Amino acid sequence: MKPEAFLKEKRLGYYKGYDDTLYVLAVQAFKKAGATLVELKRPEIDLPQFVRVLNLDMKTDLPAYISKYGSDKLSVKDLNEITTYNKQDSLVRMPYGQKLLYGVLADSASTEEFTAIKDTLERNGRQFFDESIKTNNLDAVLSINNYMVGYAAVAKYPAITVPMGYKETNQPMGLTFIAPTLSEAKLLELAFAYEQISKMRKTPVDFDE
């Protein structure tokens, strides 16, 4: 199926607060291809204690990962051992310090508190997207780079990013598609269709295929 035929049946949301030329061009490309674009206002919803979830996850997940996948020759097994190892040669191993790691170690949330934090974040993350998606019957919403992936992550919603173009400084920018749980196949189709109509992906210079 040609991308225009596929996109003609799709409804996508975009956020009017993004002052980005490449984003505007991406929206226009979808409109030209026949998709229906709905302007959205970014909800005023926060992600309270989001960083704590990252910290607490790291505190348990890193040792588990090392235990399962780490080499037998690895001398460190958890964050305490990592910070101690780093201090043995701080100029080489921690030139910028390890304040973030100390913050992870210092957080001693109970299992109940950790669960409550995650439940609140998931609820807020879904609320951030759901009203717009359900009210406007959208297939996905469009964002830039990782601007909204924190909300998608806590909501447990899939996201995919593809090349959107380059700034004058040659900095690459990505167009991110986000949709509700179990929409992975749809997101892959939307991303593929966008790449077909936009042709923004560039092969790196001197890349040997």
Return the pLDDT at 108.
87
pLDDT tops 90 at residue 1: no
Cα-Cα-Cα-Cα dihedral sign, residues 75, 79, 83, 84: negative
Q: What is the pLDDT of residues 154-176, one digit of tens each?
A: 999 999 999 999 999 989 999 99
Chain-centre distance for alpha carbon 45: 17
Q: What is the pLDDT of residues 113-147, one digit of tens each?
A: 999 999 999 999 999 999 999 999 999 999 999 99
Contact, 175 vs 144, CB < 8 A? yes
Q: Confirm or reject CATH 2.60.120 for domain 3-44+139-198, answering yes or no.
A: no
Return the pLDDT at 157.
98
Return the pLDDT at 208.
67
What's the pTM value of the predicted model, to 2 decimals?
0.86
33-54 average pLDDT score: 96
* Domain extent listing, the chain: 3-44+139-198, 50-117
pLDDT tops 80 at residue 205: no
84-95 average pLDDT score: 96
Return the pLDDT at 71.
93
pLDDT tops 90 at residue 34: yes
Structure tokens at 188: 């892959």
Q: What is the pLDDT of residues 9-27, one digit of tens each?
A: 999 999 988 889 999 999 9
Amino acid identity, residue 126? R
Provide the mean pLDDT of the chain.
94
Contact, 156 vs 181, CB < 8 A? yes
